[in-house]
Amino acid sequence: MNTFAEFEKDLGYEFHDKELLKLAFTHTTYVFEHKGHHYESNQRLEFIGDAVLDLVIGRKLYELAPKADEGYLSKTRSLIVCERSLASVARKLKVGDHLLLGRGETMYGGSDKDSTLADVVESVVAAIFFDSGFEEAERVILSILGETIEDAVKGNIFLDYKSKLLELAQNKGEQHNVVFEIIGEEGPAHDKVFEAQVMADGIVLSRASGKSKKDAEQNCAKIAIEEYKKLFGNKK
């Protein structure tokens, strides 16, 4: 039986209404497989959670950057609440261990899809909002996304790490040849894991894995950016 106790502990919030929490983890494929209705999935919660996240993160950025214009605030908020960022938080909270999915979705790796994980984070935020109100939802959001907010404000978050690394390597006056390679893959056809490495001037900067070749390269590039700066200096 899924009690969600471990999740609540990691989240730092205990639900009064456990059914509300269960709803936040209920995927449409699970509902349809059990001949339920669309409103018995987490989609409606996701709609509210998206709005609550936007308000909380927007207000926090407004406070942290009192002289920033609307363009900066909007772009930075988008980085913080993007699918990739929310999925990363979801993995730290082990959301995939508690997901209620249909058999087919489970078979094809649904419990580790960025889109599915991000949707659950939004749904959980809405569930907290309905369970205890805005202030408690805000507290939890700022707790689980605190590091992400800090990185975004410092300019350390990029939607495309691979492009950022290549941009660094083409700095005027000192250019370096950066090459990405897929060096391995494992697992069945429906659930493969790819391993990538990236080199600069023949020196391996990092290796990382992902559910797709693109994800593996992005994860690899994210690590490689810091290694590149250590090796060649942060010239840009």
pLDDT tens-digit profile, the chain (236 residues): 467 999 999 999 999 999 999 999 999 999 999 888 889 999 999 999 999 999 999 999 999 999 999 999 998 999 899 888 899 899 999 999 999 999 988 888 888 888 899 999 999 999 999 999 999 999 999 999 999 999 899 887 766 788 888 888 887 567 899 999 999 998 877 667 899 999 999 999 999 988 788 888 988 998 999 899 888 875 54
Angle at 122 between CA 2 and CA 153, to 5 degrees: 130
Residue spans in the chain of domains classed CATH 3.30.160.20: 161-231
**Which amino acid belongs to residue 186?**
E
* Catalytic residue list: 50, 122
**Which strand ranges, in their side-by-side order, compose the sheet holding 178-186?**
178-186, 193-200, 203-210
**Which amino acid belongs to residue 198?**
V
Residue spans in the chain of domains classed CATH 1.10.1520.10: 5-154
Provide the CATH topology of domain 5-154: Ribonuclease iii, N-terminal Endonuclease Domain; Chain A (1.10.1520)
Provide the CATH topology of domain 161-231: Double Stranded RNA Binding Domain (3.30.160)
Instruction: Specify the pTM.
Output: 0.72
